[in-house]
Protein backbone atom coordinates (compact mmCIF):
# COMPACT_ATOMS: atom_id res chain seq x y z
CA UNK A 1 0.00 0.00 0.00
CA UNK A 2 1.33 3.44 -0.92
CA UNK A 3 -0.10 6.90 -0.24
CA UNK A 4 1.16 9.91 -2.20
CA UNK A 5 0.37 13.60 -1.74
CA UNK A 6 1.89 16.66 -3.38
CA UNK A 7 1.20 20.30 -2.68
CA UNK A 8 1.91 23.21 -5.01
CA UNK A 9 3.14 26.08 -2.84
CA UNK A 10 3.59 28.57 -5.66
CA UNK A 11 4.35 28.58 -9.41
CA UNK A 12 7.87 27.20 -8.95
CA UNK A 13 7.75 25.20 -5.72
CA UNK A 14 6.09 21.84 -5.05
CA UNK A 15 6.47 19.62 -1.99
CA UNK A 16 5.24 16.13 -1.37
CA UNK A 17 5.08 13.07 0.80
CA UNK A 18 4.98 9.39 -0.05
CA UNK A 19 4.23 6.88 2.70
CA UNK A 20 3.78 3.16 2.44
CA UNK A 21 3.89 -0.28 3.96
CA UNK A 22 4.60 -3.57 2.26
CA UNK A 23 5.69 -7.15 2.62
CA UNK A 24 8.18 -9.35 0.78
CA UNK A 25 7.70 -13.12 0.78
CA UNK A 26 10.16 -13.95 -2.00
CA UNK A 27 12.44 -16.27 -0.01
CA UNK A 28 12.29 -17.62 3.56
CA UNK A 29 15.56 -15.96 4.61
CA UNK A 30 14.53 -12.57 3.26
CA UNK A 31 10.85 -12.30 4.24
CA UNK A 32 10.23 -8.86 5.76
CA UNK A 33 7.72 -6.16 6.52
CA UNK A 34 8.65 -2.77 5.04
CA UNK A 35 7.64 0.75 6.07
CA UNK A 36 8.82 3.79 4.13
CA UNK A 37 8.40 7.54 3.75
CA UNK A 38 9.76 10.02 1.22
CA UNK A 39 9.52 13.76 1.88
CA UNK A 40 10.60 15.91 -1.05
CA UNK A 41 10.46 19.30 -2.71
CA UNK A 42 10.78 20.40 -6.33
CA UNK A 43 11.97 23.83 -7.41
CA UNK A 44 11.50 24.75 -11.06
CA UNK A 45 14.34 27.09 -12.04
CA UNK A 46 12.91 27.62 -15.53
CA UNK A 47 11.11 25.48 -18.13
CA UNK A 48 14.25 23.36 -18.77
CA UNK A 49 15.84 23.08 -15.29
CA UNK A 50 14.43 21.50 -12.12
CA UNK A 51 15.90 20.72 -8.68
CA UNK A 52 14.59 18.05 -6.31
CA UNK A 53 15.66 17.70 -2.69
CA UNK A 54 14.35 15.24 -0.17
CA UNK A 55 14.92 12.43 2.22
CA UNK A 56 13.72 8.84 2.34
CA UNK A 57 13.42 6.59 5.38
CA UNK A 58 12.90 2.84 5.00
CA UNK A 59 12.43 0.33 7.80
CA UNK A 60 12.75 -3.42 7.21
CA UNK A 61 11.66 -5.90 9.91
CA UNK A 62 12.76 -9.38 8.88
CA UNK A 63 10.40 -12.15 9.96
CA UNK A 64 12.92 -14.97 10.54
CA UNK A 65 16.18 -15.31 12.42
CA UNK A 66 19.36 -14.61 10.47
CA UNK A 67 21.10 -17.89 9.65
CA UNK A 68 24.51 -16.81 10.91
CA UNK A 69 23.80 -14.36 13.78
CA UNK A 70 20.62 -16.09 15.02
CA UNK A 71 18.69 -12.84 15.58
CA UNK A 72 15.79 -11.25 13.73
CA UNK A 73 17.33 -8.56 11.57
CA UNK A 74 15.98 -4.99 11.61
CA UNK A 75 17.34 -2.34 9.23
CA UNK A 76 16.58 1.37 8.97
CA UNK A 77 17.83 3.29 5.93
CA UNK A 78 18.17 7.09 5.95
CA UNK A 79 18.67 8.54 2.47
CA UNK A 80 18.85 12.32 1.91
CA UNK A 81 19.23 13.20 -1.78
CA UNK A 82 19.61 16.06 -4.26
CA UNK A 83 18.70 15.75 -7.95
CA UNK A 84 19.06 18.06 -10.93
CA UNK A 85 16.92 17.57 -14.05
CA UNK A 86 17.53 19.12 -17.46
CA UNK A 87 14.68 18.73 -19.95
CA UNK A 88 16.10 18.49 -23.48
CA UNK A 89 12.63 18.31 -25.02
CA UNK A 90 9.21 16.91 -24.09
CA UNK A 91 10.42 13.31 -24.67
CA UNK A 92 13.90 13.39 -23.12
CA UNK A 93 15.57 14.62 -19.94
CA UNK A 94 18.94 14.27 -18.20
CA UNK A 95 19.25 13.62 -14.48
CA UNK A 96 22.17 14.00 -12.07
CA UNK A 97 21.56 12.73 -8.51
CA UNK A 98 23.59 12.61 -5.32
CA UNK A 99 22.48 10.30 -2.48
CA UNK A 100 23.86 9.74 0.98
CA UNK A 101 22.71 6.41 2.43
CA UNK A 102 23.05 5.28 6.05
CA UNK A 103 21.92 1.83 7.14
CA UNK A 104 21.38 1.29 10.87
CA UNK A 105 21.03 -2.41 11.61
CA UNK A 106 20.76 -4.43 14.79
CA UNK A 107 23.55 -6.56 13.28
CA UNK A 108 26.74 -4.47 13.46
CA UNK A 109 28.26 -6.09 10.35
CA UNK A 110 25.37 -4.70 8.26
CA UNK A 111 25.76 -1.05 9.40
CA UNK A 112 27.20 1.14 6.65
CA UNK A 113 27.29 4.56 5.01
CA UNK A 114 27.68 5.17 1.29
CA UNK A 115 27.46 8.00 -1.18
CA UNK A 116 26.23 7.58 -4.74
CA UNK A 117 26.40 9.88 -7.73
CA UNK A 118 24.20 8.89 -10.67
CA UNK A 119 23.77 10.31 -14.16
CA UNK A 120 20.94 9.11 -16.37
CA UNK A 121 19.38 9.86 -19.76
CA UNK A 122 15.62 9.29 -19.77
CA UNK A 123 13.21 8.95 -22.66
CA UNK A 124 9.44 9.37 -22.32
CA UNK A 125 7.08 7.50 -24.64
Report residue 68: phi and psi, to 5°.
Answer: -90, -45
pLDDT at 29: 61
Mean pLDDT of the chain: 90
Tell me which residue range forms the domain holding 80.
2-123
Do you know the residue count of the chain? 125
Alpha carbon distances (Å) from 116 to 51, 82, 86, 98, 101:
17, 11, 19, 6, 8
pLDDT at 31: 83
Number of domains in the chain: 1
Q: Is the pLDDT confidence value at 30 over 80?
A: no
Percent of the chain with pLDDT over 70: 97
Report residue 30: phi and psi, to 5°.
Answer: -120, 20
Q: CA 43, CA 11: separation in Å to the nearest integer?
A: 9
- The pLDDT tens digits for 60-119 are 988 887 778 788 888 999 999 999 999 999 999 999 999 999 999 988 888 889 999 999
pTM of the predicted model as reported, rounded to 2 decimal places = 0.81
Amino acid sequence: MKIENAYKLNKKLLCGLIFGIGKNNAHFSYDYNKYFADIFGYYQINNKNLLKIGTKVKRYNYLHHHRFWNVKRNDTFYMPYLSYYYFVNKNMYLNLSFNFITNDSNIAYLDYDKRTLKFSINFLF
